Structures are given as C-alpha cells and as structure tokens.
Amino acid sequence: MCQARPAAVIVLAAGEGTRMRSATPKALHQVCGRSMLGHCLIAARELEPEQLIVVVGHDAERVAAHAREQASEAAIVVQPYLGGTGHAVRVVLESVGSISGTVLVTYADTPLLRGATLTSLAYERARAGAAAAVLTARAVNPFGYGRIVRDDSGDFIEIVEQADATREQQAITEINSGMYAFDGELLGDALKRVRTDNAQGEEYLTDVVSVIRSDGNRVVTVSCPDFEEVQGVNDLAQLAHVSRVMNARLLQSAMRSGVRIGDPESTWVDVTVDLAAGAYIGPGTQLEGSTSVGAGASIGPGCLLRDTSVGPRAVVINSVCESAVIGEGAQVGPFAHLMPGTRLEVGEHAAPPAAAHTSALGS
C-alpha cells in the first residue's frame, strides 16, 4: 500500500470574487451555516496533510483570520497580486520552501468537494508513481471548461481550454476540475518555467501540467463521479445552487439515520445542526446554528429554530425560537416567539405572546 498522506494541501483563497457583487470576500460566503472556505478546509484536513496552507490575497487579513479560526494549524501565505493559479502556488513554495512528496491544490470556492475525493487524488498519484494527477469530471454542458484530451489508448495527452479547442475537442465532455496532486519537487521545477504569454498575462497550473508532461513525466487522471463536487462558485446564483445541493446531502444523511423529514424541498438545516433518530421535521422549517432536536420531538410546520435545544418528545409548531432551551415534552406554539434565554421546563407550554416572554423573564 503506497502512502497517500500528502506532504501539503494548498487551498487557494485569494480571489476577489467581483461577480459576487458583495462586500463579503467570496471564500467567506456561507453554505448551510459554514463558510465555503470552512467546508474546503474540513475536506483538506481529512487527509491529515503534513502542511495545510491557505493562500490569501483580496481582503487578506479578514480571510486569514477566518482560516485560522477554522484550522488553527493552517499556514497563511499572502499572494501580493492576483497573478493566476500557478503564481499563487509559486508564491507558496517561495514562502515555505520546496516540498517533497504529494502536493494537492484545491480551491476555497468548491464547498461540495469531499475529503474522500481528495484522498483518491493523492492516492492515485502515489500509486501510479506519476508526476501529476488531474481531477476530472463528466459535464452535461462542458462549455467554458478545459477539456481532457486522450490518445487512442485512453492515456492523458493534454488539457485544452475552451477558447483553444477545435470543434471535435469541444464535443469532449470530460473536463478539468482545476484540482491537482503533484510531485512536490517536479512541481517546483515546472513552476519556474511557466510562461505568461496569454491573454491575462498570468501563470496557470494547467501550464504546469503541460511542462511536466513535456519533460517526459507521467500525468494521470482521477475521475470524480459526482460533477457537483467540483462546482465552483462565482456568483450568488451559483452560491444558491451549491447551498441546495449541500442541504439535500444533509437531509438525506439525516433521513438515513432515522429522522423523518416531511418535505425535504422546503426544509433547510445547517451543517452544525444535530438531529436525533426518531425526530420529525415538518414542512417549511429552518434549523440553524447549534440547534439540536431530541428523539421523538416534532418541529414544524413553519418553524425557525436558531441555536436552540429541543428535548425529546417536545413539540414546536409555527414558531420562532432563538437561543432557547425547550425541555422534554414541552410544547411551543403555534405562533410563539421564544426570545434568547428562554427556558421551558419539562412539559411546559408556551403560546403567543405572553407565555414565551413570561418564561424568558422567569428563567
């Protein structure tokens, strides 16, 4: 068995994200209660890399502070200007020195990417003894993506960008995700020879792959079976899409664990929500933050619970509960609003409006 633990995972989080049209840095936008960068760091940490490195640029101090909150061991490298993905990785190697072993490169705007997929990428590069492994996927509509070109034997030849692709190449549905596993020493050497004679005048990792292969080194591919995993977020419409996908994942996991969801299409949960087997979540319900729901409890329809603890067999109907504690068998609503600090004891009932406020004052 070859060693799959990478020497480093580099997470690129320097982009400005102008198409988001938001004062919030792109990497810090939330998907089901966690930042996109947070999702990506969790996936990267599953590999237990020797080094976890985050490249920041736009609003560097804010993004760096958040990265340290999510992964205190992360090393922060500042990209002084946005010179492309290849430039970002070159800045890392200039900062931390050469890296021997497998180096993975991923992005802070791909919150759906699973740690298992990155593990497969690292493992396959090491197993094949390849200089680089490219993560690919099949796209129904590959427009805009770099295409994976293969020879008659199915071996990787090159990545051809949309603008440079022939009509035949444009018909290829296997696309480049932009995520790679490299031999660290060969990566460092290739980065020194990447050219910037392109429309943007930037250094790209796709060109690093070309340099490595032109030197006669082997490049392999790893296919990601779920195209959604490699989806990047460039605007708020794409953010909404990945949020729906993430929410569906969370609900499916909950249902497989014994939680009954009345209407998954209208139910939203954060990644930090804890649902016990035997709980029921009704339509039109949103559960946020550190909310927990005990076994046999019934929440909904039409509820918003934020940072609220719900005991076993409690019932909450058409109500808003914020930073509240609802005891075992207690009942809330309909149309109640539990303010922060509210505590309902075992079997207590809160109905609008006085009971909820009275309970809060008495806590």
pLDDT tens column, 164-174 = 899 999 999 99
Q: What is the mean pLDDT of residues 294-313?
A: 98
Reported confidence tier of residue 32, pLDDT bands at 50, 70, 90: very high
pLDDT value of residue 164:
87
Q: Using one digit for the tens of pLDDT, what is the confidence trace for 13-31?
A: 999 899 999 999 999 999 9
Q: What is the mean pLDDT of residues 326-352?
A: 94
pLDDT value of residue 198:
78
Distance spanning both ends of the chain, measured CA to CA: 58
Reported confidence tier of residue 351, pLDDT bands at 50, 70, 90: confident
pLDDT above 70 for 360? no
pLDDT value of residue 1:
37
Reported confidence tier of residue 359, pLDDT bands at 50, 70, 90: very low
- What is the rounded average pLDDT for all residues in the chain? 94
pLDDT value of residue 112:
98
pLDDT above 80 for 354? no
pLDDT above 90 coverage of the chain, percent: 91
pLDDT above 90 for 64? yes
All structural domains of the chain: 8-230 (3.90.550.10), 257-362 (2.160.10.10)
pLDDT above 50 for 225? yes
Q: Using one digit for the tens of pLDDT, what is the confidence trace for 101-127?
A: 999 999 999 999 999 999 999 999 999
Q: Using one digit for the tens of pLDDT, what is the confidence trace for 73-106?
A: 999 999 999 999 999 999 999 999 999 999 999 9
